[in-house]
Amino acid sequence: MLLRGGRLVDPAAGIDALLDVRLRAGLVREIGPHLAPEPGEETLDAAGAVVAPGFVDMHVHLRDPGFPDKETLATGSRAAARGGFTAVACMPNTEPALDSVEILAGLLRRARDPEVACRIYPIAAMTRGRRGGETLDYAGLAAAGAVAFSDDGSPVADDAIMRAVALRARSTGRRLIAHAEDEDPMVRRDLTLARETATAWHIAHVSTAVSAAAVAEARRTGVDVTCEVTPHHLVFTSELVRERGGGAKVNPPLRGEDDARALRDSVRRGEVDAFATDHAPHTAREKALPFERAAMGFTGLEVAVGAYAYALPDLPLARFVAMLSANPARILGVPGGTLTVGSPADVTVFADRPWTVRSEAFASKGRSTPFDGMRLPRAVVATIVAGSLRYRAEGPVSA
């Protein structure tokens, strides 16, 4: 395939220029101005659009195994491709939890089905059954494909167990992901353990000014810690709960405007590493329950590119791309994140073309998003995984 006429933005390679990209046999084969199509080569007109390394969402709940009414690998990966993601890392809060080599192997076997539209990287549990009591064979799990370890929404409460997890998982080189619910105290505890055990850590969905500042300070003083944000914490506040009740329920909860503004400033200052989604699909019935019993979380894959551009319209394009590609790929230690010759042919093409979110048209089974009905300024044009076109938007490339 030949991508013609686009603006190639590859921050890891320091490239921002009008360049064509040739893909062959699953890899980037050639980059240059005005490449001529070769016989039999498929071409994609990217004039007016940005051609970027494939986006990687490092925080997705795919619900496999165990919850096919909420999402499947086919629907979740199709939602990812529509959202411009060529790869997603999936959380272990499944049934059973992703806590053994056999369960990881089963997931990765299903992920090879041709129906699955993007690469799937499992995040394994930190403890047996995510119950916070028993450590696991981290080296074995990493060898089986785990890109990180997390107990997801049930973070390890016992400090001694958490320390044991850190010391045993450290040699894998894979990060521990703190998916804190009671955010500020848990982030503080984990940053202390990261320092004491010299273990690589990642703080998922940072949502408060206090946590963002704590991560930045830890990093300044030598702790190996990275962090991500979600689009909903940058844009919405607890006001939304008053308006929408259970439909606005998410963890960590939506905060005040001061926190949302502080997070946007943290991104601008370069203190946040990755744009994630925390894609958390549920059935419509589970979201419609009264607030106390409503399911927590939003579907995020199909709005992320537009939502982040909406939240941070002034963010330089190279930073925007890095937050979605090079940075999460580096944090997870997975291939991609660049389009230099020889890299995987994972490409996201997007354009500054306004569109209106219509959740009823989502590929995801989850339809609950606070962005529903909003006009967003940036849209995905095409998603290419290992050289195959997995999504192509209808209509012209640019506005």
Q: Which residues bind Zn ion (CB under 5 A)?
A: 278
Report DSSP letters for 145-187, one per residue: T--EE--TTS----HHHHHHHHHHHGGG-PEEEE--SSHHHHH
Instruction: Name the residue nearer to Zn ion (CB basis): 278 or 286.
Output: 278
Instruction: Name the residue nearer to Zn ion (CB basis): 277 or 343.
Output: 277
**In whole angstroms, how close is the CB of 368 to Zn ion at the nearest point?**
14
**In the complex, residue closest to Zn ion by CB:** 278
Instruction: Name the residue nearer to Zn ion (CB basis): 278 or 346.
Output: 278
The catalytic position among 278, 314, 346, 352 is 278
The end-to-end CA distance of the chain, in Å, is 24
Between 257-268 and 209-220, two packed helices, what is the crossing angle to 10 degrees?
Answer: 30
Instruction: Name the residue nearer to Zn ion (CB basis): 168 or 255.
Output: 255
Across the strands, what pairs with 127? 135
**In whole angstroms, how close is the CB of 19 to Zn ion at the nearest point?**
36
Instruction: Name the residue nearer to Zn ion (CB basis): 190 or 278.
Output: 278
**In whole angstroms, how close is the CB of 278 to Zn ion at the nearest point?**
4
**In whole angstroms, how close is the CB of 121 to Zn ion at the nearest point?**
15
Q: Which residues of 312-335 are buried (b: 16+ CB within 10 A; e: fewer)?
A: beebebbbbbbbbbbbbbbbbebe
**In whole angstroms, how close is the CB of 60 to Zn ion at the nearest point?**
8
Which residues, other chains included, contact 129 with Cβ-Cβ below 8 Å and sequence gap of 6+?
Answer: 96, 97, 99
- 57 belongs to the catalytic site: no
* Residues assigned a catalytic role: 278
